[in-house]
Amino acid sequence: MLTATAQSERLAMIQADGHDDFEQFFYREDGKLDYIFHVEQWLDDFVYQRRIVYNSKGQILRDEMWQDLQGEWTDFTLVNYCEYTYDSKGNVATRDNYNRAGEPELSWSARITYYYDENNRLSKSYTYWSSDLNTPWAKTEYTYDAKGNLSAMAAYQKNPYANNALQQQSGIYYYYNADNTLNYYYQVTVSYGEEIPTNACWFYYDKNKDLTKVELIGNTGDIHDRAVFYYDTDVPGSELFIPSTHEYEVECGEYFNHKRTKQEVWVFDEFTNELVYTHDKIYSYEPTGKESAIHNVMNDRNLQMSYSASDKSIRLSNKFYADVTVSDMSGRVVLNTTANGGRVDLSSLPKGNYVVSASQMAASPVVQKINIR
């Protein structure tokens, strides 16, 4: 989905609970996705924006990557982008890649051309270096089953040891349940025409056809990764706008039959040879057609806090998740919570003096003494 229509809510943020990693989504006045703000602490505070530029028909013209190279969250540099053309049916016809390739200026590096079958399904693509648009160096082919589901994908590359002929390097095979939901897929590498299995990915669903679990399994049978999803089944997926671009999609975004609220992340620990739980990802939403309910952290890294005596609550300047700790004057912690929406209710605490500490992602922590009467 590229534009919001009749949905009442839209995805605003995906945040790793207990980590500084998050994806925050911003929208234009017409409901189209404007840009995505990413922070990936595990990649040494890799901070970037994915900005979307549209043509006069509302199609994505450019998908740009702007990276914070100085670590200030205020000065972003364009490091690469993709530019698209479309055929008469609205399908992507070409993608041109621009990047720096170690140089100070962006330059055109490659082009991908896309082809479609009589049912308007992607059938193959060719990749060319910008210096040679006559001879492809890579190709991908797509095949479908009788129900129209993608059944296989084969990737080819030039082989310099075989007169630069395009030879298959890898492939993916897809298998489906009776209701056409994806059951599993497995990947292979191809060496001298022989397929060698590498890993498989299995998908599990509940009675509502909501995707509840995904497991990546290696060729030895070990589970390498696991994602477990949770939903608010009172809100159907048709009420939600989940943004996507040609280059970006929310993880398993096509399986939002209901409102996704949380994802458990499990990874394989090579030291213990066990699958271990690492953290949750929390999904936040906001009303469509209104000003963003989640504060733009790029415009205000300095967290501010105030106490409202009228309703005995703490108000924070940045209105998304913040860790808040309240201690009495002896230093004993009486409340440890997470603020969502920029407000923390303290009305349950007895009268007295307290010290409130709030910390929020990259914003500087603040401490304030308050008196509850």
Alpha carbon 372 to its chain centroid, in Å, reads 41
What contacts 24+ positions apart, CB below 8 Å, involve 324-329?
324/356, 324/357, 324/358, 325/356, 325/357, 325/358, 326/354, 326/355, 326/356, 326/357, 327/354, 327/355, 327/357, 328/352, 328/353, 328/354, 328/355, 329/353, 329/354, 329/355
What are the residue ranges spanned by the domains of the chain?
Answer: 9-142+225-287, 300-372
Bridge partners, residue 226, by sequence: 215, 266
Distance CA 20, CA 323 (A): 11
Distance CA 277, CA 264 (A): 7
The CATH number of the structural domain formed by 9-142+225-287 is 2.40.128.720
* 356 sits in which H/E element: strand 352-360
Q: What are the tokens at 184?
A: 């599993």
Distance CA 34, CA 23 (A): 13
Helix (H, G, I), strand (E, B) or coil at 239: helix
Distance CA 168, CA 100 (A): 29
Helix (H, G, I), strand (E, B) or coil at 4: coil
Q: pLDDT tens per residue, the chain (373 residues)?
A: 334 456 899 999 999 987 778 899 999 888 899 999 988 765 456 788 999 999 999 999 999 999 887 766 667 889 999 999 999 999 999 999 999 866 788 999 999 999 999 999 999 999 999 999 999 999 999 999 999 999 999 999 988 777 788 999 999 999 999 999 999 999 999 988 899 999 999 999 999 999 999 999 988 888 999 999 999 999 999 999 999 999 889 988 778 899 999 999 999 888 888 999 999 999 999 998 754 444 343 333 445 677 777 778 887 755 445 678 888 877 788 887 766 556 788 989 999 988 888 765 444 456 777 888 8
Q: With contact defined as beta carbons under 8 Å apart, do 288 and 344 qualify?
A: no
Distance CA 359, CA 322 (A): 6
Q: With contact defined as beta carbons under 8 Å apart, do 250 and 243 qualify?
A: yes
Does this model's pTM top 0.85?
no
Q: What is the DSSP letter of 45?
A: S
Helix (H, G, I), strand (E, B) or coil at 210: coil
Q: With contact defined as beta carbons under 8 Å apart, do 41 and 20 qualify?
A: yes
- Its sign, for the CA torsion 5, 9, 13, 15, is negative
Q: With contact defined as beta carbons under 8 Å apart, do 47 and 38 qualify?
A: yes
User: Could you tell me the fold of the domain covering 300-372?
Assistant: Immunoglobulin-like (2.60.40)
Q: Do domains 9-142+225-287 and 300-372 have the same CATH topology?
A: no
From the number of C-beta atoms within 10 Å of its C-beta (0-12, 13-18, 19+), residue 20 rates as middle
Determine how β-strand 305-308 pairs with β-strand 313-316.
antiparallel
